[in-house]
Structure 1
Amino acid sequence: MSAADGRDVGACADGNCEIAVSKPVTFRFKGPAGPATLSVTEVGPNKVEYTIKSGNSQSTGGATGSGQSCITVLRSNGGGNSCSGQGDAARPSPQPDAVVIQTVTSENGTAILRIVSD
Protein backbone atom coordinates (compact mmCIF):
# COMPACT_ATOMS: atom_id res chain seq x y z
CA MET A 1 0.00 0.00 0.00
CA SER A 2 1.20 3.51 -0.72
CA ALA A 3 0.06 6.76 0.87
CA ALA A 4 -0.64 10.04 -0.91
CA ASP A 5 1.56 11.99 1.53
CA GLY A 6 4.22 9.28 1.89
CA ARG A 7 5.65 9.23 5.43
CA ASP A 8 5.40 13.00 6.02
CA VAL A 9 3.61 13.43 9.37
CA GLY A 10 3.83 17.20 8.82
CA ALA A 11 1.23 16.80 6.08
CA CYS A 12 -1.31 16.03 8.84
CA ALA A 13 -1.01 19.36 10.66
CA ASP A 14 -4.03 20.82 8.84
CA GLY A 15 -6.26 17.82 9.67
CA ASN A 16 -6.13 16.27 6.18
CA CYS A 17 -3.57 13.67 5.15
CA GLU A 18 -2.81 10.10 4.17
CA ILE A 19 0.51 8.78 5.48
CA ALA A 20 2.27 5.45 5.94
CA VAL A 21 3.88 4.57 9.29
CA SER A 22 6.09 1.60 10.09
CA LYS A 23 7.19 2.54 13.62
CA PRO A 24 5.70 4.35 16.63
CA VAL A 25 5.23 8.06 15.99
CA THR A 26 3.42 11.00 17.62
CA PHE A 27 2.23 14.12 15.82
CA ARG A 28 -0.23 17.00 16.23
CA PHE A 29 -3.07 17.89 13.92
CA LYS A 30 -5.97 20.32 13.80
CA GLY A 31 -8.90 18.83 15.72
CA PRO A 32 -12.50 20.02 16.03
CA ALA A 33 -11.82 21.52 19.49
CA GLY A 34 -8.29 22.79 18.83
CA PRO A 35 -4.98 20.94 18.59
CA ALA A 36 -5.13 17.14 18.83
CA THR A 37 -2.38 14.52 19.12
CA LEU A 38 -2.23 11.11 17.48
CA SER A 39 0.26 8.59 18.88
CA VAL A 40 0.82 5.34 17.01
CA THR A 41 2.00 3.15 19.90
CA GLU A 42 2.55 -0.10 18.01
CA VAL A 43 2.73 -1.04 14.36
CA GLY A 44 3.75 -4.31 12.73
CA PRO A 45 2.60 -6.94 10.27
CA ASN A 46 -1.23 -6.85 10.33
CA LYS A 47 -1.29 -4.74 13.50
CA VAL A 48 -1.70 -1.10 14.51
CA GLU A 49 -2.51 0.50 17.89
CA TYR A 50 -2.96 4.20 18.57
CA THR A 51 -4.13 6.85 21.03
CA ILE A 52 -5.75 10.17 20.14
CA LYS A 53 -5.91 13.08 22.57
CA SER A 54 -8.12 16.08 21.90
CA GLY A 55 -8.85 18.60 24.64
CA ASN A 56 -9.79 16.61 27.74
CA SER A 57 -10.79 13.55 25.69
CA GLN A 58 -8.69 10.50 24.90
CA SER A 59 -9.55 7.66 22.55
CA THR A 60 -7.61 4.47 21.91
CA GLY A 61 -7.99 2.01 19.08
CA GLY A 62 -6.27 -0.84 17.40
CA ALA A 63 -6.66 -3.50 14.79
CA THR A 64 -5.04 -6.90 14.43
CA GLY A 65 -5.34 -9.10 11.37
CA SER A 66 -5.00 -8.87 7.64
CA GLY A 67 -6.96 -6.00 6.10
CA GLN A 68 -8.38 -4.67 9.38
CA SER A 69 -9.18 -1.00 9.87
CA CYS A 70 -10.39 1.32 12.60
CA ILE A 71 -12.19 4.63 12.31
CA THR A 72 -12.21 7.22 15.07
CA VAL A 73 -14.50 10.23 14.78
CA LEU A 74 -13.52 13.28 16.86
CA ARG A 75 -16.07 15.95 17.65
CA SER A 76 -15.74 19.00 19.88
CA ASN A 77 -17.80 17.18 22.54
CA GLY A 78 -16.06 13.77 22.34
CA GLY A 79 -15.61 10.95 19.88
CA GLY A 80 -15.96 7.25 19.16
CA ASN A 81 -14.24 4.27 17.53
CA SER A 82 -15.29 1.40 15.30
CA CYS A 83 -13.09 -1.35 13.90
CA SER A 84 -13.83 -3.90 11.19
CA GLY A 85 -12.43 -5.86 8.28
CA GLN A 86 -12.79 -2.96 5.84
CA GLY A 87 -9.27 -3.48 4.57
CA ASP A 88 -7.82 -0.86 2.30
CA ALA A 89 -11.15 0.92 2.11
CA ALA A 90 -11.50 4.23 0.35
CA ARG A 91 -10.67 7.39 2.23
CA PRO A 92 -13.45 8.08 4.75
CA SER A 93 -15.94 10.82 3.97
CA PRO A 94 -15.71 14.09 5.88
CA GLN A 95 -18.33 14.71 8.54
CA PRO A 96 -19.62 18.14 9.61
CA ASP A 97 -17.77 19.62 12.62
CA ALA A 98 -15.65 16.49 13.01
CA VAL A 99 -12.29 14.95 12.16
CA VAL A 100 -12.30 11.34 10.94
CA ILE A 101 -9.17 9.21 11.50
CA GLN A 102 -8.80 5.85 9.75
CA THR A 103 -6.02 3.32 10.37
CA VAL A 104 -5.51 0.32 8.08
CA THR A 105 -3.22 -2.66 8.76
CA SER A 106 -1.03 -4.31 6.14
CA GLU A 107 0.95 -7.52 5.92
CA ASN A 108 4.27 -5.70 5.40
CA GLY A 109 4.20 -3.94 8.80
CA THR A 110 3.28 -0.50 7.47
CA ALA A 111 -0.03 1.01 8.56
CA ILE A 112 -1.90 3.63 6.53
CA LEU A 113 -3.33 6.58 8.49
CA ARG A 114 -5.93 8.83 6.93
CA ILE A 115 -7.16 12.02 8.59
CA VAL A 116 -10.13 13.80 7.00
CA SER A 117 -11.65 17.14 8.05
CA ASP A 118 -14.64 18.91 6.54
Structure 2
Amino acid sequence: MEPEPSVSAADGYDASACTDGNCEIAVSKPVTVRLQGPGGPATLSVTEVGPNKIEYRVKSGNGQSKGGASGPGQGCITVLRKNGSGNSCGGLSGTRPSAQPDAVVIQATTGTDGTALLHIVSP
Protein backbone atom coordinates (compact mmCIF):
# COMPACT_ATOMS: atom_id res chain seq x y z
CA MET A 1 0.00 0.00 0.00
CA GLU A 2 1.45 3.35 -1.09
CA PRO A 3 1.37 6.21 1.40
CA GLU A 4 -1.18 8.90 0.66
CA PRO A 5 0.28 11.53 -1.68
CA SER A 6 1.07 14.83 -0.01
CA VAL A 7 -0.41 16.55 -3.04
CA SER A 8 -4.01 15.93 -3.98
CA ALA A 9 -4.27 13.76 -7.10
CA ALA A 10 -7.60 12.49 -8.40
CA ASP A 11 -6.11 9.07 -9.24
CA GLY A 12 -3.62 8.83 -6.34
CA TYR A 13 -0.49 6.90 -7.39
CA ASP A 14 -2.34 4.66 -9.89
CA ALA A 15 -0.38 4.88 -13.16
CA SER A 16 -2.82 2.44 -14.79
CA ALA A 17 -5.45 5.20 -14.58
CA CYS A 18 -3.55 6.91 -17.43
CA THR A 19 -3.96 4.20 -20.09
CA ASP A 20 -6.96 6.02 -21.58
CA GLY A 21 -4.98 9.27 -21.90
CA ASN A 22 -6.77 11.07 -19.06
CA CYS A 23 -5.51 11.07 -15.47
CA GLU A 24 -4.05 12.99 -12.56
CA ILE A 25 -1.51 11.04 -10.51
CA ALA A 26 1.10 11.74 -7.84
CA VAL A 27 4.61 10.42 -8.51
CA SER A 28 7.23 10.01 -5.79
CA LYS A 29 9.59 7.55 -7.55
CA PRO A 30 10.48 6.62 -11.14
CA VAL A 31 7.49 5.12 -12.94
CA THR A 32 6.49 4.14 -16.47
CA VAL A 33 3.06 5.11 -17.75
CA ARG A 34 1.66 3.53 -20.89
CA LEU A 35 -1.03 5.51 -22.67
CA GLN A 36 -2.76 5.90 -26.00
CA GLY A 37 -1.16 8.70 -27.99
CA PRO A 38 -2.57 10.39 -31.11
CA GLY A 39 -0.52 8.11 -33.37
CA GLY A 40 -0.74 4.91 -31.33
CA PRO A 41 0.75 3.65 -28.07
CA ALA A 42 3.01 6.04 -26.14
CA THR A 43 5.20 5.61 -23.05
CA LEU A 44 5.90 8.26 -20.41
CA SER A 45 8.88 7.35 -18.23
CA VAL A 46 9.50 9.46 -15.13
CA THR A 47 13.25 9.00 -14.65
CA GLU A 48 13.87 11.18 -11.60
CA VAL A 49 11.70 12.69 -8.89
CA GLY A 50 12.89 14.64 -5.85
CA PRO A 51 12.10 17.74 -3.83
CA ASN A 52 11.23 20.42 -6.40
CA LYS A 53 12.48 18.24 -9.26
CA ILE A 54 11.09 15.99 -12.00
CA GLU A 55 12.62 14.56 -15.16
CA TYR A 56 10.87 12.42 -17.74
CA ARG A 57 10.91 11.23 -21.33
CA VAL A 58 8.08 10.40 -23.69
CA LYS A 59 8.26 7.93 -26.57
CA SER A 60 5.52 7.96 -29.18
CA GLY A 61 5.89 6.21 -32.54
CA ASN A 62 9.38 7.03 -33.81
CA GLY A 63 9.57 10.23 -31.75
CA GLN A 64 11.03 10.90 -28.34
CA SER A 65 10.80 13.97 -26.14
CA LYS A 66 12.40 14.84 -22.81
CA GLY A 67 11.25 17.24 -20.13
CA GLY A 68 12.57 18.28 -16.77
CA ALA A 69 12.11 21.00 -14.23
CA SER A 70 13.57 22.00 -10.90
CA GLY A 71 12.43 24.59 -8.42
CA PRO A 72 9.24 25.23 -6.44
CA GLY A 73 6.12 25.20 -8.62
CA GLN A 74 8.08 24.52 -11.80
CA GLY A 75 7.10 22.02 -14.44
CA CYS A 76 6.88 21.09 -18.10
CA ILE A 77 4.12 20.53 -20.61
CA THR A 78 4.63 18.08 -23.47
CA VAL A 79 2.10 18.03 -26.31
CA LEU A 80 2.04 14.81 -28.35
CA ARG A 81 0.71 14.96 -31.89
CA LYS A 82 0.76 12.40 -34.72
CA ASN A 83 3.60 14.25 -36.45
CA GLY A 84 5.73 15.03 -33.39
CA SER A 85 5.77 16.65 -29.99
CA GLY A 86 6.67 19.91 -28.31
CA ASN A 87 7.79 20.92 -24.82
CA SER A 88 7.54 24.05 -22.76
CA CYS A 89 8.76 24.45 -19.19
CA GLY A 90 8.32 27.11 -16.51
CA GLY A 91 6.13 28.06 -13.56
CA LEU A 92 3.08 25.80 -13.42
CA SER A 93 2.00 25.77 -9.79
CA GLY A 94 -1.76 25.47 -9.50
CA THR A 95 -2.40 25.18 -13.25
CA ARG A 96 -4.08 22.36 -15.13
CA PRO A 97 -3.51 21.49 -18.79
CA SER A 98 -6.25 22.05 -21.37
CA ALA A 99 -7.21 19.40 -23.91
CA GLN A 100 -6.13 20.13 -27.48
CA PRO A 101 -7.64 18.66 -30.67
CA ASP A 102 -5.83 15.54 -31.95
CA ALA A 103 -3.20 15.73 -29.20
CA VAL A 104 -2.32 14.31 -25.80
CA VAL A 105 -1.15 16.92 -23.29
CA ILE A 106 1.17 15.85 -20.45
CA GLN A 107 1.91 18.24 -17.59
CA ALA A 108 4.46 17.40 -14.89
CA THR A 109 4.78 19.76 -11.91
CA THR A 110 7.38 19.57 -9.11
CA GLY A 111 6.48 19.20 -5.44
CA THR A 112 8.39 20.55 -2.44
CA ASP A 113 8.46 17.18 -0.64
CA GLY A 114 9.53 15.07 -3.63
CA THR A 115 6.04 14.18 -4.83
CA ALA A 116 5.39 15.45 -8.36
CA LEU A 117 2.01 15.76 -10.03
CA LEU A 118 1.29 14.38 -13.51
CA HIS A 119 -1.77 15.49 -15.47
CA ILE A 120 -2.53 13.81 -18.78
CA VAL A 121 -5.45 15.01 -20.92
CA SER A 122 -6.78 13.86 -24.28
CA PRO A 123 -9.59 15.29 -26.40
Normalising by the smaller structure, the TM-score range is over 0.9
Task: Determine helix, strand or coil for the equivalent of 2:34.
Answer: strand
Could you tell me whether the CA contact under 8 Å between 1:9 and 1:19 is conserved in 2?
Answer: yes
Residue identity (%): 72
Counterpart of 2:9 (choices 3, 11, 23) is 3
Counterpart of 1:44 (choices 47, 50, 62) is 50
Alignment of 1:93-112 (within 5 A): 93-112=98-117
Q: What is residue 62 of structure 2 aligned with on the other side?
A: 56
Task: Determine helix, strand or coil for the equivalent of 2:16.
Answer: helix
Per-residue deviation, 1:23: 0.2
What do you get for the CA RMSD once the two structures are aligned? 0.6
Q: Which runs of 5+ in 1 are unaligned?
A: none
Q: How many residues end up aligned between the 2 structures?
A: 117
1:114 paired with 2:119, answer yes
Per-residue deviation, 1:88: 2.5
Q: Which runs of 5+ in 2 are unaligned?
A: 1-6
Q: What is residue 35 of structure 2 aligned with on the other side?
A: 29
Q: What is residue 85 of structure 1 aligned with on the other side?
A: 91
- Give the TM-score normalised by the residue count of structure 1: 0.97
